[in-house]
Amino acid sequence: MLTASAAIALYICATLFQALQLRKHPNLKLSSLQLIAAPALALHGYTSAHWIFSDAGLDFGLLPMTSAIIFTINLIVLLSSLRKPVHSLFLILFPLAALILALTLLIGSSAPLRETVSLPIGAHIFFSIVAYSLLTIAAFQAIFIALQNWRLRHRHLGSWLQIVPPLQTMEALLFEVLWAGFGLLTLSLITGFLFFEDFFAQHLIHKTVFTLLAWLFYGILLWGRHIKGWRGNTAIRWTLVGFSAMVLGYWGSKFVLEVMLH
């Protein structure tokens, strides 16, 4: 598809532009990067919508849905970058988006198509996509904080500390994203329990168990932050453990059903 290829090319251009700019000078021309990223996201969004809402039916397969989630992640980070210093995440997100688009373009989907979904199920899917997107952003943010901590501890400073925001700002942003993602994950679970009648028949038990574990891990982390002031490595570990459970629940179950058992 031409739009997917164009989005891939723009994502690669944005990545190269950001990398070259940061190599020359830590103060990135963010407006120029946003001008390249905006059409990439527009094309990505159009392509993902075309893959999911196909002429043959609704495709909720592994790669089309992953493409939609990556699009949502990039959109949230791009809009957030207008007010908050989160643009360092683009160094991971743009190449990842290009990779997912390329894989979807080359491999496609083997999931069974649906004719339609009810409004409640649509709401559950929406809450899930945005929750997964926010919690993925939190995981990448935690990785950046871990790397920042490591470089400070080992005095490998260089230009890295000029590229990323101060550690305190990074942690504050992490918990803002975690609270929003946790709230939406809660809504996703509630709508799932209300509107899916048979978890076993619909092959949802694996996803449900791991999603509940992820919800529990994130809940413990946010409780620890609020009550005990958890931060640093403790916050990083709980964030990544919760994300790992979420990955096993959603992407793991889809991979098993659509690839291994197909």
- The predicted structure's pLDDT at residue 116: 75
Lowest mean pLDDT among 20-24, 61-65, 85-89: 20-24
- The predicted structure's pLDDT at residue 166: 74
- Render pLDDT for 167-226 as a digit per residue (tens, 0 to 9): 788 888 899 999 999 999 999 999 888 877 665 555 667 788 889 999 999 999 999 999
Residue 68 lies in a domain: no
Contact 8, 44 (CB under 8 A): no
Q: Which residues pair with 141 in a beta bridge?
A: none
Task: Taking residues 82-96, report their average pLDDT.
Answer: 87
Q: Which of 73, 98, 114 is the last residue of a domain?
A: 114
Return d(Cα 252, Cα 210) in angstroms, integer.
10
- The predicted structure's pLDDT at residue 179: 95
- Render pLDDT for 125-167 as a digit per residue (tens, 0 to 9): 899 999 999 999 999 999 988 888 877 776 665 555 556 677 7
**Do 52 and 166 belong together in one domain?**
no
Residue 213's identity, in one-letter code, is L
- The predicted structure's pLDDT at residue 110: 67
Q: How confident is the model at residue 47 (pLDDT cuts 50, 70, 90)?
A: very high
What domain count does the chain have? Answer: 2
Return d(Cα 213, Cα 68) in angstroms, integer.
24
**Do 40 and 133 belong together in one domain?**
no
Residue 249 lies in a domain: yes
Angle at 105 between CA 102 and CA 108, to 5 degrees: 125
Contact 140, 89 (CB under 8 A): yes
**Do 100 and 129 belong together in one domain?**
no
- The predicted structure's pLDDT at residue 142: 92
Residue 79 lies in a domain: no
Task: Taking residues 29-49, report their average pLDDT.
Answer: 91
**Do 101 and 138 belong together in one domain?**
no
Residue 73 lies in a domain: no
Residue 69 lies in a domain: no
**Do 168 and 235 belong together in one domain?**
yes
Residue 81 lies in a domain: no
Residue 71 lies in a domain: no
Tokens of 216: 């529990």
- Render pLDDT for 224-241 as a digit per residue (tens, 0 to 9): 999 998 888 899 999 999
Return d(Cα 38, Cα 107) in angstroms, integer.
26
**Do 37 and 135 belong together in one domain?**
no
**Do 110 and 124 belong together in one domain?**
no
Residue 245 lies in a domain: yes
Residue 217 or 258, more confident: 217
**Do 11 and 104 belong together in one domain?**
yes
Question: What's the 3-state SS for the chain?
Answer: CHHHHHHHHHHHHHHHHHHHHHHHCCCCCHHHHHHHHHHHHHHHHHHHHHHHEECCEECCCHHHHHHHHHHHHHHHHHHHCCCCCCHHHHHHHHHHHHHHHHHHHHHCCCCCCECCCCHHHHHHHHHHHHHHHHHHHHHHHHHHHHHHHHHHHCCCCCCHHHHCCCHHHHHHHHHHHHHHHHHHHHHHHHHHHHHCCCCCCCCCHHHHHHHHHHHHHHHHHHHHHHHHCCCHHHHHHHHHHHHHHHHHHHHHHHHHHHHHCC
**Do 181 and 101 belong together in one domain?**
no
Domain that holds residue 93: 1-56+87-114
- Render pLDDT for 49-70 as a digit per residue (tens, 0 to 9): 999 887 778 888 888 889 999 9
| pTM reported for the whole predicted model | 0.86
